[in-house]
Amino acid sequence: MARPSNHFQSSVGSKVVMALSGLGLVIYVIFHMLGNLQVFEGAHALNGYAAFLRDMPILLWTARIGLLNLAALHIILAIRLTLRNHRARPVAYTVREYRQASFASRTMAASGLVLLLFLIFHLLHLTAGVIDPSSVDRLDTEGHRDVYGKVVHAFQNPFIVALYLAGQLGLGLHLNHAVTSSLQTLGLEHAAFNRLFKAAGPAIALVVVLGNVAIILAIFLGIVRG
Ligand code: HEM
């Protein structure tokens, strides 16, 4: 009988863990986008929401540590599977058969890398305040951390806007393929739901990217102001 550790190290076991960790990260990205959309309701709403999250340190740190573990697991397994696939097929095909594979599925490693680079930049920028020290946390008139002011200040800069839009491209391509493929890996295939599962990836990718791009462009175009 296969030992659990052998199963975990097998390609199938790795893919199941990658699918589950990836879906966990997708749920975070959806809630993060929904929370950030409060920028359209003004400083009171966004800063109040950020303060509400910070006021529950145990929950906040549990979520952060959980998120970090999911991301680390997902990335390590992705690298391992990619290396294993390369080792299994060391000579590249001379004629590539792309008819079955979509553009998004062929570029999962590249879009994942763009997403990772975006995330590192994003955390250094808006969470740590390292990229733009003038963006570090100030307090608003109600004594809350002025997350609204920080975000509005950030997206007035065309370089920051360009980098965030590039990140959204990576995010969109990755989600487009990843969600449907994860559901398939987990064996969620049923004649009645197959079309729904196939549409889930592109639909989630579209909604999340449109939500994020709306925030970035509304600020850049002066529709949302400080
Ligand atoms: C337009 C798009 C986005 C905006 C406006 C945005 C905004 C923010 C802000 C303001 C913070 C800091 C919150 C605070 O200081 O309390 C933050 C943190 C964070 N963001 Fe984003 N974000 C965006 C996209 C993303 C994406 C696409 C991801 C994931 C791929 C992401 C992952 C994170 C993570 C992991 C944190 C750290 C959370 C924490 O400190 O607990 N963000 N984001």
Quick: pLDDT tens for 8-21: 567 788 899 999 99
H or E, element range at 166: helix 158-185
Tokens of 63: 């979520």
pLDDT band at 201 (very low <50, low <70, confident <90, very high): very high
| Pairwise pLDDT comparison (125 vs 11), residue with the higher score | 125
How many angstroms separate the alpha carbon of residue 133 from the centre of ligand 1?
17
pLDDT at 2 (0 to 100): 47
> Which domains does the chain possess?
8-220 (1.20.1300)
pLDDT band at 26 (very low <50, low <70, confident <90, very high): very high
Q: Which one-letter DSSP state was computed for residue 145?
A: B
How many angstroms separate the alpha carbon of residue 201 from the centre of ligand 1?
21
Give the list of residues 6+ apart from residue 215 with CB closer than 8 angstroms, or none: 36, 37, 39, 40, 151, 155, 224
How many angstroms separate the alpha carbon of residue 190 from the centre of ligand 1?
35
pLDDT at 1 (0 to 100): 44
pTM across the whole model: 0.90
The yes-or-no verdict on residue 210 having pLDDT over 70 is yes
H or E, element range at 215: helix 194-220
Quick: pLDDT tens for 171-187: 999 999 999 999 989 98
pLDDT at 97 (0 to 100): 52
pLDDT at 189 (0 to 100): 76
Work out the mean pLDDT of the chain and round it to a whole number: 88
Do residues 148 and 46 make contact, with C-beta atoms less than 8 angstroms apart?
yes
How many angstroms separate the alpha carbon of residue 106 from the centre of ligand 1?
27
- CA-proximal residue: ligand 1, atom 7 (nearest): 36
Q: Which one-letter DSSP state was computed for residue 123?
A: I
pLDDT at 99 (0 to 100): 52
Cα separation, 115 vs 209, whole angstroms: 13
Quick: pLDDT tens for 80-117: 988 887 777 655 555 555 555 667 667 898 999 999 99
| Pairwise pLDDT comparison (209 vs 138), residue with the higher score | 209
| Pairwise pLDDT comparison (80 vs 209), residue with the higher score | 209
- Identify the CA nearest to 213 among candidates 159, 171, 150: 171
| Pairwise pLDDT comparison (135 vs 43), residue with the higher score | 43
Cα separation, 20 vs 70, whole angstroms: 9
pLDDT at 3 (0 to 100): 53
Q: What is the mean pLDDT of residues 23-44?
A: 97
Q: Is 160 in the pocket of ligand 1 (CB under 6 A)?
A: no
In whole angstroms, what separates CA 72 from the centre of its chain?
A: 13
Q: Is 208 in the pocket of ligand 1 (CB under 6 A)?
A: no
Task: Give the whole-number percent of the chain exceeding pLDDT 90.
Answer: 64
3-class DSSP state for residue 92? Answer: coil
- Identify the CA nearest to 26 among candidates 188, 211, 174, 186: 174
pLDDT at 96 (0 to 100): 54
Do residues 2 and 13 make contact, with C-beta atoms less than 8 angstroms apart?
no
